[in-house]
């Protein structure tokens, strides 16, 4: 065969095209995942510091996403301020006590409410500063404290005992 015949044969002969079935998206994604996994394993062997650093960074991102997700909308129950009426009778109940065996602090001046904790002062005896739960009181006045309206009440003790008739200030959340 001559050169011209070979060229003629090449142009007239068309190579057979074998039809490949198109890869489905599922097999394409599996192939892509396998390639990604092979690249990751190659990185692990060639540069382990980068490989494990990338895993740690991914773990941090996942942790941040989990922490920032809204999660459940359940909130911790808390005591709300009750709307008290001046002149009405109520009983004392500690907002944070369990079982009814707590005591409620009373102070002489509403500005000293932040100084409730006098447990460190040994030798100071004032039986009327701490009242047991269930003590019947009458609300005489309400005042604002730390930006919350009517959050401190002036009370008069009505229960029998040595403190009957004594007046003092306490937090509204402790009055039920």
- What tens digit of pLDDT does each residue of 46-91 get? 998 998 999 999 999 999 988 887 666 666 666 566 788 899 999 8
Burial per residue of 65-89, b for 16 or more beta-carbon CB atoms within 10 angstroms, e otherwise: eeeeeeeeeeeeeeeeeeebeeeee
pLDDT score, position 118: 55
Task: State both tokens at 41.
Answer: 């394993």
Contact 134, 154 (CB under 8 A): no
- The residues that bridge with 142 in the sheet, in sequence order, are 153
Least confident of 45-59, 106-120, 129-143: 106-120
**Which tokens hold the place of 94?**
């500690």
CA gap 113, 101 in Å, rounded: 21
pLDDT tops 60 at residue 107: yes
Please check the confidence at residue 138 and state whether its pLDDT lies above 80.
yes
Rounded to whole angstroms, how far apart are CA atoms 6 and 12?
Answer: 10
Question: What are 70's two structure tokens?
Answer: 């809204």
Sign of dihedral through CA atoms 104, 109, 110, 112?
Answer: negative
* C-alpha 118 chain-centroid distance: 32
Confidence class for position 132, pLDDT limits 50, 70, 90? confident
pLDDT for the residue numbered 128: 81
Residue among 141, 135, 137, 138 at smallest CA distance from 153: 141
């Amino acid at each position: 065969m001559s050169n011209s015949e070979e060229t003629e044969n090449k142009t007239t002969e068309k190579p057979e095209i074998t039809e490949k079935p198109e890869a489905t998206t599922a097999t394409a994604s599996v192939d892509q995942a396998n390639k990604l996994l092979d690249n990751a394993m190659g990185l692990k062997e060639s540069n382990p510091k980068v490989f494990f650093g990338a895993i740690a960074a991914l773990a941090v991102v996942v942790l941040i996403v989990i922490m920032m997700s809204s999660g459940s909308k359940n909130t911790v129950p808390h005591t709300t301020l009750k709307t008290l009426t001046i002149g009405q009778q109520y009983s004392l109940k500690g907002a944070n006590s369990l079982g009814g065996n707590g005591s409620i602090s009373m102070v002489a001046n509403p500005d000293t409410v932040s100084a409730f904790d006098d447990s460190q002062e040994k030798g100071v005896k004032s039986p009327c500063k701490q009242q047991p739960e269930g003590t019947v009181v009458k609300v005489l006045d309400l005042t604002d404290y730390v930006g919350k309206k009517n959050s401190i009440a002036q009370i008069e003790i009505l229960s029998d005992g040595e403190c009957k008739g004594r007046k003092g200030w306490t937090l509204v959340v402790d009055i039920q």
